[in-house]
Structure formats: structure tokens, C-alpha cells
Structure 1
Amino acid sequence: MATIVVQTEINSSLDKAWEIISDIDNEPKFWKGTKEVKTLSTEGDTIKREITIAFRDQKCLQEVQLNPKNEIKAKFTKGILNGTKIITLTPNNGKIIMKTSWEIKLSGMMNMFTAVIKNHIKSGTEQAMQSIKREIEG
């Protein structure tokens, strides 16, 4: 299992930051590793969806739990990725700390390549978070 944690400080209100990150249909705009998202069902704050990732256009199923103004927890339930991606917002002296934490591995025979993709995911996460930060602060 690869653990990746990236965080950044944003000059923003919690409401504005949440408004941007909780629009999960916009994920491909910020996350270059996500090519497409398709919502399959919504029950309360839980969204089941299919995402197409850039790695070989693989499709993965996710359950996304929205915890308003606090966190978004995406659990990969089927596909080449196993694990979670959690984005949290923490108010801090008039600013917001946005943190993305991954606990992820490749499934099946691809598991041996988990270490190889760790740096790729970390780099993509850093890029996505800077893009989200610019959007929120813009």
C-alpha cells in the first residue's frame, strides 16, 4: 500500500473552498489522472460513480462520501486501483489547509507496480492541489 500526503495553504473562506472541491463532477478539470467521471447513483451524501483514469483509460468504481465543509472520501471499490483518496479542509488562522491523503495500491497482478506509480500519483496530486488553490483564490 502506498501512502501519499500532500497539503497546501489557501487564502480563502471555508465556504468558497468547499464549494470548489465538493463539485466532484469537475474533478477532471483539476486532476489530470482522472479523464472522466460518471455518477451512477446518489444516496444522501454518498455518491457511487465510475471514473476513467489516464492510466490505460482504465475504469474504476468509487464510493464518494461528502462530509460537508470538512472532507471528501473517495473509496475505490472496483478496478485497477484499491484504496482511498481523502481531501480535507481545516480552517487555520483565517486560511484553509487543504490536505489530500492517499492509501492506494494497484490490484491483482499490477500490485507489484504500486511503488512505481506512487511518485506519479504524488506529482499529480501536487499539480491538482495547486490548480484547485488557484481556482479558489482566483
Structure 2
Amino acid sequence: MATIEVEVEINATVDKVWDIVSDIDNEPKFWKGTKKVKNLSKEGDTIKREITIAFRDQKCLQEVKLEPKKRIEAKFTKGIINGEKIVTIIPNEEKTILRTVWDIKLTGMMGMFTGMIKNHIKSGTEQAMQSIKEEIER
């Protein structure tokens, strides 16, 4: 498994950060590795969806759990990626820390490339977090 952790400090309240990151339909705006999102079902704070990732336009199924103003847990349930991405919101005095942790691997024969894509995902995550920060701090 590849574990990737990226953090950014944002000059904003938890409420403001949550308003942006919890709009998961808007994910492709910030996360360039996610090309398209299609919600399949919603039950309470759990959304089942299909995402199209930039890697060869592969489709993956995810189960996303929202814990309001705390975290978003996206589990990959089917497709080329196995594992999860967790986005956590941490209050820090007048600011907010946004942390994303990936714990993933590629499935099947692609598994041998997990290490190679780790840097690519880390770079994409850093870019996404910076874009979210800039959007919120405007």
C-alpha cells in the first residue's frame, strides 16, 4: 500500500473550509485526478458514487462518508484503486488545517506500479490542497 499525507493551513474557519470540501460533486474542480463524478445513491451522510479518474479514464466506485465539519472518508470499493482517501479538518485557533491521507494500491496486474504513481498522487494532492486554500482565502 502507498500512504500519502499532505497538509495545508488555511486562514479560515472550520465552517468555511467545510462548505468547500464537503461539496464533493465539485471535486473535479480541485482534484485534477478526478475527471468526473456520478452519484449513484445517498443514504444520510453516505454517498455511493462512480468516479472517472484521469489515469486512462478508469472508472472506480467509491463509498463516501461525510462527518460534518470533521472529515470525509472516501473508500474505493471497485476499480483500479483499492483503499481510501481521508480528508480531515482540524481547528487551529483562528485557522484550519486541512489534511488528506491516502492509503491505496492499484489492483490486479497494475499493483506493481503503485510505487510509481505514489509521487504523481502526492503532487496532485498538493496541487488540490493549494487550490482549495486559494479558493477559500479569496
TM range (shorter): over 0.9
Q: What is the alpha-carbon distance in structure 2 between the residues aligned to residue 115 and residue 123 of structure 1?
A: 13
State the Cα distance separating 1:25 from its structure 2 match.
Answer: 0.2
Correspondence list, 1:8-87, <5 A: 8-87=8-87
- Could you say what secondary structure the match of 2:29 adopts? helix
The two structures have a TM-score, normalised by structure 1, of 0.99
The two structures have a TM-score, normalised by structure 2, of 0.99
Q: Look up the match of 2:124.
A: 124
- Could you say what secondary structure the match of 1:12 adopts? coil
Which whole-Å deviations, capped at 9, do the CAs of 1:13-46 have from their partners, x for residues lacking one?
A: 1111000000000000000000000000000000
Q: What is the alpha-carbon distance in structure 2 between the residues aligned to residue 39 and residue 16 of structure 1?
A: 24
Q: Percent of aligned positions with the same letter in both sequences?
A: 75
Gaps of 5+ in 2: none
State the Cα distance separating 1:128 from its structure 2 match.
Answer: 0.2
Q: Look up the match of 1:5.
A: 5
State the Cα distance separating 1:93 from its structure 2 match.
Answer: 1.5
Aligned residues: 138
RMSD between aligned residues: 0.3
Q: What is the alpha-carbon distance in structure 1 between the residues aligned to residue 120 and residue 58 of structure 2?
A: 16
